[in-house]
Each structure stands twice: as structure tokens, then as C-alpha cells.
Copies of this chain bind each other. A is one copy, B any other.
Amino acid sequence: MIDSEEEKLPEEKYVEEMVKNLQQGTDKVPHLLETAVSGLPAKWRNWVIRGVFTMIMVSGFGVIIYGGPLALMVTTLLVQVKCFEEIISIGYSVYRIHGLPWFRSLSWYFLLTSNYFFYGENLVDYFGVVINKLDYLRFLVKYHRFLSFSLYCMGFVWFVLSLVKKYYMKQFSLFAWTHVALLIVVTQSYLIIQNIFEGMIWFIVPVSMIVCNDVMAYMFGFFFGKTPLIKLSPKKTWEGFIGGGFATVIFGLMFSWFLCHYQYFVCPIEYNEKLNKMAIECEPSYLFRPQEYEILGKSITMYPFMLHSLSLSIFSSVIGPFGGFFASGFKRAFKIKDFGDMIPGHGGIMDRFDCQFLMATFVNVYISSFIRTASPGKLLAQVYTLKPEQQLQLFNSLKDHLEARNILDIN
């Protein structure tokens, strides 16, 4: 299958040379912690540092959840921006870009534009009722796509005008690099925000599952690992993969069971007209009301959501790790150790979020295929945008339909 190109290509040599200059993830550690672990043998030092920062991150996650959906969304946005920055920085270094006209500004401009588009779509969807009350915002809603596209076109024209003969190839490569980064980073965070609106449980459970799978696969691999899993990541083992999978399923069931008790986690976030603000209050849907199940002759009580959590945990432990393999492959391709150096002992933000990417899409698709049913409220809002005679026409058709099915009494 592979022809005999054993020798390295000039392109590959070039990249090797380039990445020597690339900023490598340093193991920078806060001074206090540095002093505390200085007595330990070297091989344990990284363990402790990594452990401490895992704890810090998990607690931080807890605090953000306590802060509510808005805090979660802001965090998602910040993580997205940081991931974008890490990916783009690698691109700059690989293509040795220092004086390319406008390129940094252009990348950030595209990030802004695509966020304007995607976040706007979400806002229009979920805050439509509120926004339509304010006259000066209605314009932004009505022409949202047109405005976004105009912004994009300006960036496109700007890019074409910034082309300089001797940099053509680099400029086009980085243009593609930027767009792939946007595809990965911005669309994912758009889907994540949608998941949060369906109820925070749809965000917290999957994210925790990936974290659990990461940690447990590492643990199982450390203690029982013998059989190598994939060449791409030589440290990963089948034992870790399988053990981590089982642990994730069990963790998922328990954690879901716990979260299902609280309206705060299970209710969709909706605009409450009476309170005139966003609220998380609801009669929990069927998924989050305890039901009797007959399993092996025994009757047990659980939440239907726990069955869905099974699908989520299977995905996160079977397909999730491939996000990580993909990221390792990428790092190897460009011969970098980590994406960044933001989190001591862990590397960059991208190093921690590599497996989360496919997961967000999976959850979003899962909700739209298996969970979400059309909401009467949203449909009604759309009906009100029709012309009066169309509303009347729809009303009469619906009336006939309901009468024909004896849902509506004929009076």
C-alpha cells in the first residue's frame, strides 16, 4: 500500500526545523507549589502537580456550575477563545509568520464574525421573545444572517486585498488553518450552548464523563496496563481503555441519578414572561421523574434519564478517546509536546479539551434525534409572526383537524 518514500521529504525537514523554534509547553509551576514538592523524587513531582491542578479544575468547574447557566456560557466562550488562540499560534509558528500583513487581525476578525453569527442564532432562538420587545434590537434579529454574512464578506475581501505575492502559499495555508480552527472551535461551542439551554444536566454529565474516562483510563492503565492499544499514543493500553469504559458507565449512572433530583439541573432554561427574566423552573419532564423498572425479576426505581446516560457514557468511552488520539497525532505531526502551557502539569487548554469536541456534537445530535419534541411555546411565537389572515387560516385548519379527531368538542 505504501510506496517506498523512506527518506524524509523537504517539506517534513522544513517543519522539523520550524518546530524547533516553536514555543513548547513549559512546565511552569507556581512558586509556592514548586517549593512544596521540591523535596519529592522527580518522578512524583509531576504526579502531585498534575493531581493538584486536576483538583483545582474540578473545584473550579463546581464553582462555575454553582454560578448558573450564564457563568457556564461565559466559561465556554473563554475556553473557545483560548483554544482558538492555541491552534492559531501553532499555525503561525509552523509557517514561520512574523511579518505577514494583517494576518493576526484577520484571524481574530473571523473569530469575532463567526461568534457573532453563531451566538446570535442562539440568542434569537432562546431570547426571541425578549429581544422582540425592544425596538432597537429587532433590527438585529430580523437581519441577523444578512449582517453576519456582510461581516464575513468584508473579511474575505480584506484577505484577498492583503495577499502579497511572495507569501501566497503561506497566506492560503493559514486561511485554511483559520477556517478549520473555526469549524472545530466555534461550531462546537455553539452546540454546547444549545445543550446547556436544554438543561444543565446535558452539559455537566457529558463533560464529567469525559473527565472521568480520562482519569480512570489513566489509573487502570497505570496499575493493570500491559497490552498496547494504538501506536499513536504508546502509553494507552487496552486495560486502561476497557477499565476506563466500565468506570465511566458506573460513574455516569450514579452521577445522573444524583443530578436528576434537582430542578436546577434538569429544567430547560427558558424565558419566564411573568417574572420577566430567564428562569430554571419546570415540572420535570418524564425523563427526570422516577419510574419503576423490572430488571431480572426485581423491581427498581430509577430515572429514565439514566438509560440515556448509558448511551452517553458508551460514546464517551468508545469514541471519545479518538478525539485524544487525533490530538496526539496532530501534536506528533507538528512535533509539539503540548498545545500550550496554561495549566501546570497538563499543558494547554486544548490538551484538556481534545476529547470534549466530538462529545458536544454527539449530545446535541442525540437530543435533537431522541429527546427534543417541538415546543408549543416556540411554535406559537412563530405563528404570531404571520400576517393576521394567515394566522386565521392556520387557526381554522387546526380547528378542523382537532374536531375531526375529537380532541376539540364541537360546540
Q: Is the CB of B369 within 8 A of A379?
A: no
Check: A36 CB closer than 8 A to any chain B CB.
Answer: no
Residue interface bits A153-184, CB-to-B below 8 A is 1, else 0: 10011011101111111011000110110010
Distance (whole angstroms) from the CB of A139 to the closest CB of chain B = 11
Q: What residues on B are CB-neighbors of A361 within 8 Å?
A: 149
Report A74-103 residues with CB < 8 Å from chain B CB: 95-96, 98-101
Report A91-139 residues with CB < 8 Å from chain B CB: 95-96, 98-101
Report which of B146, B171, B176 forms a contact with A370, defined as CB distance below 8 A.
B146
Q: Is the CB of B373 within 8 A of A231?
A: no
Check: A226 CB closer than 8 A to any chain B CB.
Answer: no
Q: What residues on B are CB-neighbors of A319 within 8 Å?
A: 153, 157
28 contacts between A and B (CB under 8 A): A2-B99, A2-B101, A6-B166, A10-B11, A11-B169, A15-B169, A143-B369, A144-B369, A146-B366, A149-B362, A156-B322, A157-B319, A157-B322, A160-B325, A160-B326, A163-B232, A171-B329, A374-B385, A376-B390, A376-B391, A383-B394, A384-B401, A388-B407, A391-B398, A391-B401, A391-B402, A391-B407, A394-B398
Report A364-388 residues with CB < 8 Å from chain B CB: 365-366, 368-370, 373-374, 376, 379-380, 382-388
When chains A and B are docked, how far (Å) is the Cα of A142 from the Cα of B374? 12
Check: A61 CB closer than 8 A to any chain B CB.
Answer: no
Q: Is the CB of A12 within 8 A of B160?
A: no
Report A347-371 residues with CB < 8 Å from chain B CB: 358, 361-362, 365-366, 368-370
Q: Is the CB of B3 within 8 A of A14?
A: no
Q: Knowing that A145-B365, A160-B326 touch, tell me 15 more A-B residue pairs with CB under 8 angstroms.
A: A1-B101, A3-B98, A11-B11, A11-B169, A15-B169, A143-B369, A146-B370, A149-B362, A157-B322, A165-B231, A168-B332, A376-B391, A380-B397, A388-B407, A391-B398
Check: A220 CB closer than 8 A to any chain B CB.
Answer: no
Residue interface bits A313-341, CB-to-B below 8 A is 1, else 0: 00000010010011001101110000000
